[in-house]
Amino acid sequence: MAYVVGLTGGIGSGKSAAAEEFGRLGATLVDTDAIAHELTQAGGAAMPLIRRQFGEAYVDAAGAMDRARMRELAFRDGAARKALEALLHPMIRAESERRIAAAAGPYVIHVVPLLVESAGYRQRVARVLVVDCPPEVQLARVRERSGLSADEVGRIIGAQIKREVRLAAADDVIDNSGTLDALHKQVRELHAHYLQRARAAP
């Protein structure tokens, strides 16, 4: 059975940059955001359910989920967000488990933005790795890449689990308040650590 490290962090923390470097070093990446994207693209397995649940207003011209409109709805309407999660999460989990079972790398980096919020997450991963940075750094990064206003980004950050709760759940922490080189150095050190743990795991 694969040795699984759950990688998580708030929006703009640098999860993707950390995951990419783990992948470059040889870990198998299983990214729930990427799976969600596949499920909700044109022809994706979740699209018939999204059409039925939310209507054509949330499907774009190409037949994919209209992400901008759905994001706006989800952050405005808690019931809609829960309905979307109830629809997508079982499909994402099933596909994640399939990919973890098929993993060829020495260990798996399982990227789950809502890992700490997910029920039973401790049973699914051997370690919890949190990529962390101060809220003001998160805000600046997300605004730079998304073009969203400070208020919009603030609402997204506010809807996520509190930073201290996420850090309290961590076995390992990457401090991504600095440069990309500093991030890569921490990833290399953890990669060596996870290789040792994976080899020693039953």
71-125 pLDDT, tens digit each = 889 888 889 999 999 999 999 999 999 999 999 999 999 999 989 988 788 888 9
Burial readout 60-91 (b: 16 or more C-beta within 10 A, e: otherwise): eeeebbbeeebbebbeeeeebbeebeebbeeb
Copy the structure tokens of residue 4: 């699984």
User: What's the pLDDT at 36?
Assistant: 96
pTM for this model (two decimals): 0.90
DSSP character for 58?
A: G
Segment-wise mean pLDDT, segments of 10 residues, the chain, 202 residues: 94 95 98 96 96 95 94 88 93 95 96 88 92 91 84 80 93 96 98 96 84
> Which distant-in-sequence residues (6+ apart) come within 8 Å of 181 by Cβ?
none
> So what's the architecture of 1-27+106-202 in CATH?
3-Layer(aba) Sandwich (3.40)
Residue 124's nearest CA partner among 112, 140, 133, 134 is: 112
State how far the Cα of 35 lies from the Cα of 5, in Å rounded to an integer. 17
How far, rounded to the nearest angstrom, does the alpha carbon of residue 104 sit from its chain's CA centroid?
A: 21
Report whether 76 contacts 82 (CB < 8 A): no
Map out the domains of the chain as residue ranges.
1-27+106-202, 38-104
